[in-house]
Amino acid sequence: MDIGFTSLWQSTGIANFTGGQLIMMLVGCLLIYLAIAKKFEPLLLLPIGFGAILANIPGAGMAESAVGQLLNSGNPEHLALLAQSLGVPVDQVAAAWKSAAGQAHAAGNWLASDLGYEPGMLYRFYSASIATGAAPLLIFMGVGALTDFSALIARPSTLLLGAAAQFGIFLTLLGALALNLVPGFDFSLADASAIAIIGGADGPTAIFLASRLAPDLLGAIAVAAYSYMALVPIIQPPIMRLLTSEKERAVVMQQLRPVSKLEKILFPFSVLLLCILFLPSAAPLIGMLMFGNLLRESGVVERLSGAAQNEIINIVTIFLGLSVGSQLSAERFLSIETLGILVLGAFAFSAGTAAGLFMGKAMHKYSGGKVNPLIGAAGVSAVPMAARVVNKVGLESNHHNFLLMHAMGPNVAGVIGSAVAAGVLLAVVGGQ
Amino acid sequence: MDIGFTSLWQSTGIANFTGGQLIMMLVGCLLIYLAIAKKFEPLLLLPIGFGAILANIPGAGMAESAVGQLLNSGNPEHLALLAQSLGVPVDQVAAAWKSAAGQAHAAGNWLASDLGYEPGMLYRFYSASIATGAAPLLIFMGVGALTDFSALIARPSTLLLGAAAQFGIFLTLLGALALNLVPGFDFSLADASAIAIIGGADGPTAIFLASRLAPDLLGAIAVAAYSYMALVPIIQPPIMRLLTSEKERAVVMQQLRPVSKLEKILFPFSVLLLCILFLPSAAPLIGMLMFGNLLRESGVVERLSGAAQNEIINIVTIFLGLSVGSQLSAERFLSIETLGILVLGAFAFSAGTAAGLFMGKAMHKYSGGKVNPLIGAAGVSAVPMAARVVNKVGLESNHHNFLLMHAMGPNVAGVIGSAVAAGVLLAVVGGQ
Amino acid sequence: MDIGFTSLWQSTGIANFTGGQLIMMLVGCLLIYLAIAKKFEPLLLLPIGFGAILANIPGAGMAESAVGQLLNSGNPEHLALLAQSLGVPVDQVAAAWKSAAGQAHAAGNWLASDLGYEPGMLYRFYSASIATGAAPLLIFMGVGALTDFSALIARPSTLLLGAAAQFGIFLTLLGALALNLVPGFDFSLADASAIAIIGGADGPTAIFLASRLAPDLLGAIAVAAYSYMALVPIIQPPIMRLLTSEKERAVVMQQLRPVSKLEKILFPFSVLLLCILFLPSAAPLIGMLMFGNLLRESGVVERLSGAAQNEIINIVTIFLGLSVGSQLSAERFLSIETLGILVLGAFAFSAGTAAGLFMGKAMHKYSGGKVNPLIGAAGVSAVPMAARVVNKVGLESNHHNFLLMHAMGPNVAGVIGSAVAAGVLLAVVGGQ
Amino acid sequence: MPFSELMMTGIQLMLIGMGIVFTFLIILVVTMKGMSRLAISLEGELPAVDTAVKAPGRSDEVLVSVISAAIRRYRDTR
Amino acid sequence: MPFSELMMTGIQLMLIGMGIVFTFLIILVVTMKGMSRLAISLEGELPAVDTAVKAPGRSDEVLVSVISAAIRRYRDTR
Amino acid sequence: MPFSELMMTGIQLMLIGMGIVFTFLIILVVTMKGMSRLAISLEGELPAVDTAVKAPGRSDEVLVSVISAAIRRYRDTR
Ligand code: NA
Ligand code: NA
Ligand code: NA
């Protein structure tokens, strides 16, 4: 053995840095800066940013599988063994590994393990939390346990606003496909669907769908989704002012009727029933959301409701954030596609807001002026940010007009709406 | 690709419902109703009921493995590939998969994964929490950390009541075997043992044993165990009144002596010592129970004791409940065997109660009338419900007779007793 | 089938006890006694001790893998099948299994599973928490979230004390190698490195490194590390009194300057930056430590910081402790090597303390007497015990000299220092 | 898939998707109205204790106000 | 296994099972009595602070009573 | 590896190891000083609200003192 400064120097970060890694670390720092200084969805963006930094440390391989580490090692002997195991020449080993399946895949893992390579910690977190789909679903359970659907139950018609706002999703899908005309873009239908769900303005739904349809784009999609959710107070108001008249914005809505405990208990079953009948592909999302809500409203399992609202969602958020961050590698993130995703994401939020507002105007007319069309903008979800924005814009036109509670209906309807949209995309695109 | 309403319609629940699934969903709703409206062990029955609904959504496959989904897909190409991998004709593929072991099993999983099938979320929860045995053991740790054994330490002789009540287990075992005389029943010794443990009136023990000895019956056994535990206030009083005289029930017992901190610390070691010496097969159950109790009584690890009593037990209960629910498929649950299990379960509780009462009467005589025989009924465990029932029945005969603390001794003794019985069954039946 | 008392008797602990198991159970009891009666690091030593007892129950196999249970079963048919699967004669099966890799290893596991053997619960806990490296890293995250680095930020020069105290690690490494001269010892460089890290006086770092470099010694190393951390109030004072003069010990230090919120937020990035640039092999340890600290100091993710400080660290500690305990088998622990490890550990703590004190004396001189050299002893980490010991010894010489806050700087510097040392050992020894 | 076909599929997917989303949520409106009627008829008339849209954290507020009041009194007495 | 043999095995299992359960718990009675005697002799005489069967949640009750008292006083002063 | 070579490697490792530990932490001293200067210049002057080394559990202490005060008063009034 020969321990010397040379080999240690060769293992340092300085000696191995690539420009891409450096840029991704700066991206990570930017996300953390936005999380701390601008309070941009800090619960997610801070762990995502930190995960991005850790994932791009040269030589640490924290986001790599065991075979990934073997490939990165450059050890010719080990590469030859892997090539032999995969039955390809050494120069094709990386590509062959990417397409290896079944026993060849298992054999590669055995080999890497035998040679002493181990999966990085972030890779393990990703495998357990996102690749299985468990983390976003558990967060959805927590969201259900944290959400009071009373405003929606008191006025079910606001579901239409939550439906309309999902137009942003499907228009963005078209946009993503259209982007293929621009050289450098090559989005498949699955890619486009995963990107489009950013318009659902719902983090766990976006991560769940992206992990199923386009894992390579997951990092960019999650970052776009949470960033735009944080930007809702900047994106929405101009559109709201543009599409509604001063008079419409000043409409004061009737107080909501009280909702009984039994209604709150029956509500999750109503939603689940329709999901079962018409859209089983949305069952994981809607099932866990409604399970969480039933834990909350049943009133007999305070312990479990508390666990879903606190311990589970907090613990899972840490792992989810670090895992999403682990996907922010230079290779994947620093591409023209990410730029497209960011543009499409902004477009999706705007289109969803506009569609919600138009539906709001329709309901305004149809109801004889009782509905303030602004609450349509809350239909994109982004709970509770969008509802607060509605409240704020409403107050500008009428200082005694508190729309918050009225906007909560479409706001939570938007969560259901985007879960339904995700179910459609999974059924049509995922089942191919 | 052809996206059309036809294919989407074919994926809906309505088009695929089977009668069995519908009935199982109603069973799930019934369990939830009992949990919420009747407060029947809601911490378990609510998640079990919801899990049963989710597991039976047609087309969602939430309780299916990846290969299970492949088999359900009906895709002839995929079925042919699986049949080829298993080396059987296509029409025997389902049966061949059920008996596949070793490399054939691994190969089937690789194939399903390569073809894009993924395990359902509830299947993942079940694999991690119940198939490993971890969830019931962690709940047992929490039970240990939540249980104050002082009443038992102050009067060790009540262990005999906890021993006698386990007679319900073994009599039920005979009953289950005898049921084989009825056409339609075919319980093996392992099945009968797993059913019999319902008489232990202890949820985690029943789930642990069933997962080891008769996984196919786990759903029915868990439902029966928790249902009857909730029904203890209805099942026990008539038996108690029948088997004891008014005079016996009115006996006032001496106050319990105080118990020192050192005794409480040495208690878990006493129990563990006997388990080590005489019944190593009960070591997982008794070991975790006593570990939890030591965390509680040591007084130096408040953090860990708190985690065992709250975070861990709450989180695990959610996953355990959903996982048990995932086993409530029509195929397994809607059989004559479930009916038999329900009948045997009621029998087991009654027999255990009676045996405890007889031992109580014996101790009454032997002690010269100092022991109220009612406390024998608490020996079935069902902590703390059975002890409360004893208290209530005792108060009926003597308005100043508070038996609660006296019944806690046999009550917690019953937990140890049924863990011992489970150990015997595991050693004899599991080791074959 | 023949159920008889004979076979049950043969399965009891009494019939199968080996002397080694008995001794290991007494070791477990001793650890628990120290934890409860002497408050020796009870959060770790109590679960470790209990795990040791459970792991050594004869016939229960709680710390064994499925194949391990097959090997222990002595079933000649099963052993023959395993030997056939490994392609060796039956009498070499145990050795062949130990060196089996890749597909042979997988095949052995499949066979054992097909034959009905299941991994013991503690083996599962160990595989999930320590073999993956996850548990020590998550505890390190919690330590970061619990640690206030203000004292270090206010006086960065105390980092030198944290550096000097790591001399104990490297001197112990030499000592471990030198021990090979004594017959019966055969420590490889990896073994010696894992043992040496005991001198880092940091539990999770020691467990992480041992799990990577010398899993066979993990139990003894973890026990030694935590025991000596608990013994710091006994080990350190004589060395402190020996190496410093009364006048030096009486030095009163200047109050620390206040530290701004921004400095606290930038601190984790400073440390991580250097780790990235110079020592990527320390990235898992330092990355998770600094992630936890950022959660704490960012002030925008109270939920996550709370989860890292409480739920996660408590839950993980339970599993980590039981898992470490599961490694305390007679075969591994009752060897001359353990004795060597215990001697070396005491030596490591003493050497680290002395090195820290010498650096303290140097800083005392260089600063013109402003630095009390005692605070150098806190550089070994053992947070916050070592800092408290410094405070106590300082008070003996000057009743108004409160050194606690001044010793916190080198104390937390010692955590960083030993993580850096661990990174060096991993890079040089682990990468071979 | 050639671009034109891809776009056609996308448009198809948009129409079907929005159709299903609206259908689903419109049926849900109807279902929820029925559910509410059922709930109200099951409960007789709405019991007085029914909670309207409740502000979360009510008990925290009480606690905080109580504690701050207690702090004030405590300080006054010193 | 034919039915009669199965039942015989079951009866055997019942006898052995109840035997072991009783044996185990009777030995445990003896062990616990010995343990208690040992504990008491180790501790000299029972220290006064020893807790008898303790009601859990005691501190919660104190907190609740304190807070409710504080609420009452607080309301009275308004 | 023969013993002498093993010891030589160990000594090498000790030298390199301590060298890296010291180098790392000395550079960290410099980095932290620069970082502090940067932080202070970014923040203008240190804002008054800046927390010095803070005792954790402050709020708990307040709560406990308030509650114990409340208990005392509560008992006095009975
Ligand atoms: Na939405
Ligand atoms: Na029982
Ligand atoms: Na250290």
Chains contacting F (3+ CB pairs below 8 angstroms): A, C, D, E
Q: Each residue of B336-368: pLDDT tens digit?
A: 999 999 999 999 999 999 999 999 999 999 999
Residue C395 touches chain A, beta carbons under 8 Å: no
Averaged pLDDT for residues A334-355:
93
Give residues with Cβ within 8 angstroms of A368, minimum separation 6: none
Backbone angles phi, psi at F57, to 5 degrees: 75, 15
| E16–C3 CB contact, under 8 Å | yes
Q: How confident is the model at residue B430 (pLDDT cuts 50, 70, 90)?
A: confident
Ligand number, closest to the Cα atom of B285: 2
Interface D:E, Cβ pairs < 8 A:
14
Which residue in C132, C280, C299 is closest to A57 by CB distance? C280
Report which of A250, A254, A235, A256 is spatially closest to residue A374, judged by C-alpha positions. Answer: A250
**Residues of chain D contacting residue B5, judged by C-beta atoms under 8 Å apart:** 16
How many CB atoms sit inside 10 A of residue A33's CB? 15
CA dist B276 and B284 (Å) reads 11
Q: From the CB coordinates, do chains C and D have 3 or more pairs under 8 Å?
A: no
According to the model, what pLDDT value does residue C393 have?
95
According to the model, what pLDDT value does residue C15 have?
72
How many angstroms separate the CA of residue F72 from the nearest CA in chain E?
10
Averaged pLDDT for residues A235-248:
95
Ligand number, closest to the Cα atom of C163: 3
Q: Is the pLDDT of residue A318 over 60?
A: yes
According to the model, what pLDDT value does residue B17 have?
83
Q: Is the pLDDT of residue B115 over 70?
A: yes
Chains contacting D (3+ CB pairs below 8 angstroms): A, B, E, F
Q: Is the pLDDT of residue E70 over 90?
A: no
Residue A38 touches chain C, beta carbons under 8 Å: no
Interface E:F, Cβ pairs < 8 A:
13
**Residues of chain F contacting residue A3, judged by C-beta atoms under 8 Å apart:** 9, 12-13, 16
Chains contacting C (3+ CB pairs below 8 angstroms): A, B, E, F
CA dist E20 and C8 (Å) reads 10
pTM listed for this prediction? 0.92
CA dist B65 and B127 (Å) reads 10
According to the model, what pLDDT value does residue E53 have?
37
Find out whether B254 and B370 touch, Cβ atoms under 8 Å: yes
Give the nearest chain D residue to F69 (CA atoms): D74
Averaged pLDDT for residues C235-240:
96
**Which residues of chain F have a pLDDT value below 70?**
45-78
Find out whether A67 and A112 touch, Cβ atoms under 8 Å: yes
Ligand number, closest to the Cα atom of A348: 1
ipTM of model:
0.90
How many angstroms separate the CA of residue A297 from the nearest CA in chain B?
10
Give the residue from E4, E5, E12 with the most C CB atoms within 10 Å of its CB, the best one to mutate: E12
- Between these two residues, C98 and C432, which has the higher pLDDT value? C98
Averaged pLDDT for residues C395-404:
91
According to the model, what pLDDT value does residue D49 have?
40
The upper half-sphere exposure of residue C251, i.e. CA atoms within 13 Å in the direction of its Cβ, equals 23
Q: Is the pLDDT of residue C52 over 80?
A: yes
- CB contacts under 8 A, C 253-312 vs B, are 310-311
Interface D:F, Cβ pairs < 8 A:
15
| C266–F39 CB contact, under 8 Å | yes
Which residue in B1, B5, B8 is closest to D9 by CB distance? B1
CA of C369 to the centre of ligand 2 (A): 70
| C317–B304 CB contact, under 8 Å | yes
Q: Each residue of B157-216: pLDDT tens digit?
A: 999 999 999 999 999 999 999 999 999 899 999 999 999 999 999 999 999 999 999 999
Q: List, as one string, the DSSP characters of C317-361.
A: HHHHHHHHHHT--HHHHSSHHHHHHHHHHHHHHHHHHHHHHHHHH
| B46–A427 CB contact, under 8 Å | no
Q: Is the peptide bond before B47 cis (omega within 30 degrees of 0)?
A: no
Percent of chain B predicted with pLDDT > 70: 97
Q: Which amino acid is at B258?
A: P
Residue D3 touches chain A, beta carbons under 8 Å: yes
According to the model, what pLDDT value does residue A219 have?
93
| A284–B121 CB contact, under 8 Å | yes
Give the nearest chain E residue to B173 (CA atoms): E10
Give residues with Cβ within 8 angstroms of B48, minimum separation 6: B28, B31, B222, B223, B226, B321, B322, B324, B325, B328
Q: Each residue of E7-60: pLDDT tens digit?
A: 999 999 999 999 999 999 999 999 999 999 999 888 875 444 434 333 333 334
According to the model, what pLDDT value does residue B48 have?
96
Rg (CA), chain A: 24
Give the residue from B48, B53, B65, B72 with the most A CB atoms within 10 Å of its CB, the best one to mutate: B53
Averaged pLDDT for residues A173-180:
94
Give the residue from A300, A311, A315, A316 with the most B CB atoms within 10 Å of its CB, the best one to mutate: A300
Averaged pLDDT for residues B304-332:
95
CA of A432 to the centre of ligand 1 (A): 25
How many residues comprise chain C?
Answer: 432
Percent of chain A predicted with pLDDT > 70: 97
Q: b/e map of C262-274 (b: 16 or more CB within 10 Å)?
A: bbbbbbbbbbbbb
Interface A:D, Cβ pairs < 8 A:
137
**Residues of chain E contacting residue B256, judged by C-beta atoms under 8 Å apart:** 52-53
Residue C177 touches chain A, beta carbons under 8 Å: no
Q: Each residue of C161-176: pLDDT tens digit?
A: 999 999 999 999 999 9
Residue A318 touches chain C, beta carbons under 8 Å: yes
**Residues of chain E contacting residue D72, judged by C-beta atoms under 8 Å apart:** none
Q: Is the peptide bond before C284 cis (omega within 30 degrees of 0)?
A: no
CA of C282 to the centre of ligand 3 (A): 14
How many angstroms separate the CA of residue D5 from the nearest CA in chain B?
9
Ligand number, closest to the Cα atom of E25: 2
Find out whether A161 and A412 touch, Cβ atoms under 8 Å: no
Average pLDDT, chain D: 71
Least trusted range by pLDDT, from A6-20, A296-310, C400-414: A6-20
Find out whether B164 and B225 touch, Cβ atoms under 8 Å: no
According to the model, what pLDDT value does residue E43 have?
80
How many angstroms separate the CA of residue E34 from the nearest CA in chain B?
10
Find out whether A422 and A205 touch, Cβ atoms under 8 Å: yes
Tell me the two tokens of residue B35: 């949990």
Percent of chain C predicted with pLDDT > 90: 86
Chains contacting A (3+ CB pairs below 8 angstroms): B, C, D, F
Residue F20 touches chain A, beta carbons under 8 Å: yes
CA of A166 to the centre of ligand 1 (A): 6
Which residue in C1, C5, C8 is closest to E9 by CB distance? C1
Give the nearest chain D residue to B12 (CA atoms): D20
Q: Each residue of A52-100: pLDDT tens digit?
A: 999 999 988 999 999 999 998 889 999 999 999 999 999 999 999 999 9
**Residues of chain E contacting residue B171, judged by C-beta atoms under 8 Å apart:** 14
Q: Helix, strand or coil for residue B430? A: helix
Q: b/e map of B276-300 (b: 16 or more CB within 10 Å)?
A: bbbbbbbbbbbbbbbbbbbbbbbeb
Residue E55 touches chain B, beta carbons under 8 Å: no
| A3–F12 CB contact, under 8 Å | yes
How many angstroms separate the CA of residue C392 from the nearest CA in chain B?
23
Backbone angles phi, psi at D53, to 5 degrees: -55, 110
| A3–F9 CB contact, under 8 Å | yes
Tell me the two tokens of residue B289: 């129970």
Q: Each residue of A322-331: pLDDT tens digit?
A: 999 999 988 8
CA dist B271 and B264 (Å) reads 12
Averaged pLDDT for residues D1-10:
89
Residue F1 touches chain A, beta carbons under 8 Å: yes
CA dist B431 and C63 (Å) reads 18
**Residues of chain F contacting residue C170, judged by C-beta atoms under 8 Å apart:** 13-14, 17-18
Long-range contacts of B174-177 (CB under 8 A, 24+ apart): B174/E7, B174/E10, B174/E11, B174/E14, B175/B344, B175/B347, B175/B348, B176/B340, B176/B344, B177/E6, B177/E7, B177/E10
